[in-house]
């Protein structure tokens, strides 16, 4: 594999890729557990409202992507923030990336163990997933971005499975009441922050500026990807309300997968197994991208930018991440209380990163007088 060209730019990708990147980075682990935490039908409005708020965030993101600094990659950030601050921010970014990789990978591994391979240790599943991700990441940023096409076409169509749940006899309109909350409980705030964090992911596009072909339609494509996510979130939540009802929704840990188990097909006896197998493509895409960003951030943080990228360097980063994830799995994830702490930490971290990264960049851009380059 051409690991010496991990971050080499040979071509740029159009708005379609930007749209798919936004959508698939938002449709990771949290959407599988989201209905279990939202519970109440009136949270539909929060899903939509946060989706609209996410549009404003994508507008800020597009302003950065339209600058020449964005297309310059690392040098662009140095010009904007200065070398020392970029190194400091890279140290912080390592924590955010590692936390996100850990939660979505361990969460998916636990689901696979629960529904498909109950006797398989989750550490082995994590190793297998990281091995696949290392192969994809080893092909470089360009091939990883292309992989989003495979990820999208392997996963998006699965939403059609749940159309069955929004029609009678399963669907009863009374399951969508109340649409207006009679009281606001403390637990609802966790649901709000979960939704905020679930829309995170597109902030990582700030680092993909060199590989994205931007113009006046960039924000439109980013918006399409976000709107698609809103539709998926709302549809899946409504379908789960119809199937479980708000009174029983909190009693199932993985409502989306359990709904898949209910479906029967003369060809595939276990729809849930097929769903999880295809969802692995999206996980591999996202984690592969995060591995490359982690490797790049580590080179910046430790002042190694003068040295060329290498397969050994990427492999060493993956090895460190694997060791860290095994420790997190044994010390935190296998205990429900500690796992809940880790989930809450990612919920907060995801919310902060998504709304602060583009905002801070745009504010510094205005302070430094950075303007967008000519559109094509």
Q: Is the dihedral of CA 128, 132, 138, 142 positive or negative?
A: negative
**pTM exceeding 0.85:** yes
Q: Please check the confidence at residue 50 and state whether its pLDDT lies above 50.
A: yes
Is the pLDDT at 8 greater than 90, yes or no?
Answer: no
Q: Which whole number is the average pLDDT over 272-299?
A: 94
- Which whole number is the average pLDDT over 262-289? 87
What pLDDT was estimated at residue 2? Answer: 42
Q: What is the mean pLDDT of residues 260-283?
A: 85
Q: Kindly report, residue by residue over 66-108, the tens digit of the pLDDT.
A: 989 998 888 999 998 999 999 999 999 999 999 999 999 999 9
Task: Give residue 272's pLDDT.
Answer: 85
Q: What is the mean pLDDT of residues 229-256?
A: 90
Q: Over 60: is that where the pLDDT of 343 sits?
A: yes
Q: At a CB cut-off of 8 Å and minimum separation 6, what does 187 contact?
A: none
Task: Kindly state the tokens that stand for 110.
Answer: 């636990």
- In degrees and rounded to multiples of 5, residue 372 shows phi and psi of -75, 150
Q: What average pLDDT does this structure show over 217-240? A: 94
pLDDT score of 219? 93
The predicted-structure confidence for 149-189, as pLDDT tens digits, reads as follows: 999 999 998 888 888 888 877 778 877 888 888 888 888 89
Q: What is the pLDDT of residue 307?
A: 84
pLDDT band (50, 70, 90) for residue 7: confident
Instruction: Say if CB 176 and CB 39 are below 8 A apart.
Output: no
| pLDDT at residue 3 greater than cutoff 60 | no
Instruction: Supply the pLDDT for residue 184.
Output: 83
Annotate 286-306 with DSSP letters as a single string. HHHHHHHHHHHHHHHHTT-TT
For residue 126, name the pLDDT band (cuts at 50, 70, 90).
very high
**CA–CA gap between residue 145 and residue 136 (Å, rounded):** 10
Taking alpha carbons only, the member of 186, 219, 172 closest to residue 64 is: 219
Question: What percentage of the chain reaches a pLDDT higher than 70?
Answer: 97
For domain 3-164+181-368, the CATH superfamily is: Hydantoin permease (1.10.4160.10)
Mean pLDDT of the chain: 89
pLDDT confidence band for 4 (50 / 70 / 90): low
| Cα gap 332→376, rounded to integer Å | 49
* pLDDT the model gives residue 51: 95
Sorted by where each begins, the domain ranges of the chain are 3-164+181-368
């Amino acid at each position: 594999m051409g690991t010496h060209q991990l971050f080499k730019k040979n071509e740029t990708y159009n708005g379609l890729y930007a749209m798919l990147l936004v959508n698939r980075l938002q449709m990771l682990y949290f959407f599988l557990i989201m209905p279990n935490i939202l519970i109440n039908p009136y949270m539909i409005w929060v899903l939509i409202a946060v989706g609209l708020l996410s549009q404003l965030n994508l507008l800020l993101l597009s302003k950065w992507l339209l600058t020449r600094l964005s297309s310059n990659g690392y040098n662009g950030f140095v010009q904007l923030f200065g070398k020392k601050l970029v190194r400091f921010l890279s140290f912080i970014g390592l924590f955010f990336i590692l936390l996100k990789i850990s939660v979505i990978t361990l969460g998916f591994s636990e689901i696979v163990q629960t529904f498909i391979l109950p006797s398989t240790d989750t550490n082995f599943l994590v190793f297998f997933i990281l091995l696949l991700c290392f192969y994809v990441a080893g092909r470089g940023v360009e091939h990883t971005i292309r992989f989003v096409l495979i990820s999208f076409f392997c996963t998006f169509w699965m939403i059609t499975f749940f159309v069955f749940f929004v029609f009678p006899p399963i669907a009863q309109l009374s399951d969508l009441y109340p649409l207006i909350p009679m009281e606001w409980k403390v637990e609802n705030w966790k649901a709000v922050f979960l939704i905020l964090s679930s829309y995170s992911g597109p902030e990582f596009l700030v680092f993909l500026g060199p590989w994205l072909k931007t113009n006046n339609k960039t924000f439109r494509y980013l918006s399409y990807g976000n709107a698609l996510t809103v539709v998926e979130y709302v549809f899946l939540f409504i379908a789960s309300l119809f199937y479980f009802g708000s009174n029983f929704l909190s009693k199932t840990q993985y409502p989306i997968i359990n709904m898949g188990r209910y479906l029967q097909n003369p060809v595939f006896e276990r729809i849930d197994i097929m769903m999880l197998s295809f969802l692995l493509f999206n996980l591999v895409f996202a984690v592969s991208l995060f591995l490359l960003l982690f490797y790049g951030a580590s080179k910046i943080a430790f002042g190694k930018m003068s040295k060329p990228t290498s397969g050994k360097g990427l492999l060493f980063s993956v090895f460190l991440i694997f060791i860290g994830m095994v420790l997190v799995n044994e010390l935190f994830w296998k205990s429900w209380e500690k796992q809940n702490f880790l989930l809450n930490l990612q919920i907060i971290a995801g919310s902060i990163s998504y709304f602060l990264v583009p905002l801070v960049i745009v504010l510094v851009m205005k302070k430094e007088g950075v303007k967008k380059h000519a559109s094509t």
